[in-house]
Structure 1
Amino acid sequence: FFSSAARRCRLRMISGFLILNLKGEIVIHRFYRDDVSKQVAEAFGGKVIASKETGSQPPIKIIEGASFLYVRHKNLYFAVTTRSNLNPSLAFEFLFQWVRILKSYLGAEFDEDTVRNSMTLIYELFDETLDFGYPQQTAIDLLQIYINLGSAKSLGVEKKVAGGLTAQLTGIVDWRREGLRYRKNEVYIDVLESVNLLMGPNGNILRNECAGQVVMKTQLSGMPECKFALNDKLHIEKESQDGRPASAEDKKRRAVEIDDCTFHRCVRLGKFDAERTITFVPPDGEFELMRYRVTDNIKLPFRLIPVILEESKNKLTISVKVTAQFGNSVHASNVVVKIPVPPNTARTKINTTHGRSKFEPDQKAIVWRIKRFPGGGEFTIQIDVDLMQTTRAKIWSRPPISMDFNVSGFTSSGVYVRYLRVYDKSGYHANRWVRYMTRAGQYQVRI
């Protein structure tokens, strides 16, 4: 989770850890220092968690000089308290990791009853994840080995498990167990992008960016080392400088300039900084390898052209043409176009070339749904709007048209996986599958 030196320097001390229910009652707690009393913790539960305004409350509260930082998971709140200068971002990461730990032990649907029935286990986790208020080991695989040591049936087995544990505690790779074996060695890669757009009424782009993530699911035997590459412009240029020829795929597709990226802690950052090579020993199972952001040369999946004609004070016509700008080999699914109408709308008459549409008075909008939108397709909607007469002439603010969609087999940034190479001393072959998906972030066009 954190290195010991960085952990103690940056996170400072946690005085107590609390799990509370929606009523503000403390379900289970552990205090590591005596500078925050249980009475203050109960006051936190009573004044903040039990409040009807919890949803709008900031996640940090100060009560009687003690800071409380908390997150919610379903019907439970996880909180840490301190009187020292705690780093909030690292504290929240610790809390979210604790939720993941309990999911791994108690199941994804754990609740208050599950926690109450597992108090012995949770107290063990308190002791292993925090030492006198300093976060320690939070790697799930290692925690499961350590806490399960008592189940070893013989001294020989116990020594073997303890030896493996010691190796992981003192080694670098604490996110992966040794001795993993799979009949089929496989890697699944998902490149998921969220495209954001704000376009002006005259077609000029005001904001446009792609936020992407690479999610992997690995089922690999042993302790393999992986090398992974996207069509990152700097990486391809570095290879060219080193005299390595470009592949046919690289010549066919353009390189992408990635603005910034963050990695899972398994990635060797030194190699990335020096060579732009993503090298890592992967965790077992599903994990997020990296996040990235691209702001240049983004291919918009959809183009919207709205036209509004005000025929009179009580009548207007809105037409919107939507064009899919991706190839016909892929399609979009669950496309939703939300077209705002004035708040004094009385009646609407809607004609569409495809899909289903409906006036939603609560949303003050026409919601147009297209289940399957083929690449290169073009559909239109025309809306005749009758307005009620009002005593006060209020100018319509014209909120933007918004879109929601999923496009499989397509990335707006142009990012693609160049290769994933798996190296293991046994020399096995690993099967690889790659999937691309682009979905709407804030995709809006002003009218």
Structure 2
Amino acid sequence: MASLIAILDLKGKPLIQRSYRDDVPASCVERFLPLVLDIEEEGQQVTPCFSSQGINYMHIRHSNLYLLALSARNSNAVETIMFLYRLTEVLVEYFKELEEESIRDNFVIIYELMDEMFDFGFPQITEPKMLQEYITQESHQLEKPVQVRPPNELTNVVSWRMEGLRYRRNEVFLDVMESVNLSVNSKGDVVRAEILGVVKMKCLLSGMPELRLGLNDKMMFENTGRVIKGKAIEMEDVKFHQCVRLARFENDRTISFIPPDGDSELMTYRLSKPDAKPPIWVEASIENHRGSRVEYLVKVIAQFKRKSTANNIEIYVPVSNDASTPKFRASTGRAEYAPDKSAFVWKIKQLAGGKEFLMRAQFLLPSVTNDEDVPKRAPITVKYEIPNFTISGIQVRYLKVVEKSGYESHPWVRYITQNGDDYSLRTAQDKGSEPIRQSTY
């Protein structure tokens, strides 16, 4: 429980606050930032939870704002912190961007949301779609109610879905999206390979259906005694939307749920696979001609199945800041100089699996530098997207829709693999002007 919730700017000035109990004075909010600064001056790390003079301060930071909860009791700090994150998600859902201006322009709605989401210091409703059903961004005139009763969404056991939904065409779309984070050292060894997966869902189904999703999960086959046909994977760090029945998943690895309406994120997972073959591999050889010019020979290899095709490949190769007069020759796609990124980029619209291509680049260097002055070369970075392909091998075995009316439904599944936030390959630090060896490529 918490006694007071407040949103502050970076200077510690409260923009909005709501008191739910009388055991914490409002003046404690203004003491928050000085306490944070005192902790930092002492060389200590500011933790999300700390106490001072009998008051517990629990906070998170979003953009240029602090979201703060105060309590005078031994509260559940983790639950309170999670509530602050949920409050952030709800406000972002309402206002698209959560910043000082959006708070100042929407005091009334924020107070309504804080009252519905928190009751006498206890978290209550945190589902954005449910809140949007009866707290809208439109102005309302006060009318005398005929009957005082709580909204249906509050009494519904399935809080993330409304009753009475109707669609002319019942469809559900699943997007299995995997992002690959990769780090390759200058010797060509993969030092880190990580797959971050997410299953996104768009549900356009009538009524209150139950969905059952089956994946080629290794543990599912082992628990049910089924024969493994094809490749099975072992997912790590699996996290589900609250609609998934966790007890059933733990028992027989069946993913069953009543889905939220519209767009939602059903599950996320992570795979650490250092032995995984990178889908897009890039090699580069660099020849430095005594500081007068530098030549690059870049090779890209599509290391995935021939039936798949990568789209919108962009390969960023770093160059020296004083390089000029670029010349390019590519066997496919086009290359261009990007001086604002201190790199040149090789763009390929489509790259079929198993294919490989070469590109040459030449730059003039206006000044002669010593080898000792050559800075450490930045890594090559790659962007791409491969539809109908997953690097982990995850597959949707079935997606069943069960609804009491027995209507016909149309499930659709799509797979996408793309680069993650860190997909980088380092090149060997060149020393001198050794010729480019064509046989290596």
TM-score by length of 2: 0.79
Q: Is the 8 A contact 1:59 1:71 kept in 2?
A: no
Corresponding residue for residue 269 of structure 2: 292
Q: Is the 8 A contact 2:49 2:77 kept in 1?
A: no
Q: Residue 438 in 1 paired to residue 423 in 2?
A: no
Corresponding residue for residue 174 of structure 2: 189
Task: Find 2:222's aligned residue among 220, 237, 245.
Answer: 237
Please show how residues 33-432 of structure 1 align to structure 2 within 5 Å. Answer: 33=21, 37-42=25-30, 60=48, 67=57, 69-72=59-62, 77=65, 79-82=67-70, 90-104=79-93, 106-108=94-96, 115-116=103-104, 118-144=106-132, 154-155=146-147, 164=152, 167-168=155-156, 171=157, 173-239=158-224, 241=225, 244=226, 251=229, 253-296=230-273, 298-387=276-365, 388-390=367-369, 393-432=372-411
C-alpha deviations, 1:240-272, integer Å up to 9, x for none?
x1xx566xxxx3x41122233111111111111
Counterpart Cα distance in 2 of 1:59 and 1:192: 34
Shift of 1:215: 0.7
Change (3 A) 1:83 1:254: same
How many residue pairs get aligned? The number is 410
Change (3 A) 1:370 1:258: same
Q: Is the 8 A contact 1:231 1:256 kept in 2?
A: yes
Q: Residue type of the partner of 2:116? A: E
Shift of 1:322: 0.5
Shift of 1:307: 1.8
Secondary structure of the corresponding residue to residue 373 of structure 2: coil
Counterpart Cα distance in 1 of 2:69 and 2:209: 40
- Tell me which protein shows more helix as a share of its residues: 1
C-alpha deviations, 1:200-254, integer Å up to 9, x for none?
3333221112110001111222222111111112213334x1xx566xxxx3x41
Corresponding residue for residue 5 of structure 1: none
Counterpart Cα distance in 2 of 1:314 and 1:62: 59
Counterpart Cα distance in 2 of 1:147 and 1:311: 68
C-alpha deviations, 1:302-328, integer Å up to 9, x for none?
121222234435444321100222345
Counterpart Cα distance in 2 of 1:40 and 1:409: 55
Counterpart Cα distance in 2 of 1:130 and 1:274: 34
Counterpart Cα distance in 1 of 2:322 and 2:278: 33
Corresponding residue for residue 6 of structure 1: none
Change (3 A) 1:313 1:144: closer
Secondary structure of the corresponding residue to residue 248 of structure 2: helix
Q: Is the 8 A contact 2:300 2:358 kept in 1?
A: yes
Counterpart Cα distance in 2 of 1:98 and 1:312: 60
Corresponding residue for residue 14 of structure 2: 26
Which structure 1 residue ranges, 5 or more long, are not aligned? Answer: 1-12, 50-56
Q: Is the 8 A contact 2:313 2:347 kept in 1?
A: yes
Q: Residue type of the partner of 1:79? A: L
Q: CA RMSD in A?
A: 3.6
Change (3 A) 1:28 1:373: same
Counterpart Cα distance in 2 of 1:21 and 1:372: 47
Secondary structure of the corresponding residue to residue 235 of structure 1: helix
Q: Is the 8 A contact 1:26 1:45 kept in 2?
A: no
Shifted more, 217-226 versus 83-92: the winner is 83-92
Counterpart Cα distance in 2 of 1:307 and 1:108: 46
Corresponding residue for residue 430 of structure 2: none
Q: Is the 8 A contact 1:14 1:80 kept in 2?
A: no
Counterpart Cα distance in 2 of 1:107 and 1:197: 35
Change (3 A) 1:272 1:111: same
Q: Residue type of the partner of 2:314? A: V
Counterpart Cα distance in 2 of 1:183 and 1:339: 51
Quote the sequence identity (%).
38
Secondary structure of the corresponding residue to residue 393 of structure 1: helix
Q: Residue type of the partner of 1:446? A: R
Shifted more, 20-29 versus 281-290: the winner is 20-29
Change (3 A) 1:390 1:298: closer
Q: Is the 8 A contact 2:323 2:364 kept in 1?
A: yes
Q: Residue type of the partner of 1:317? A: E
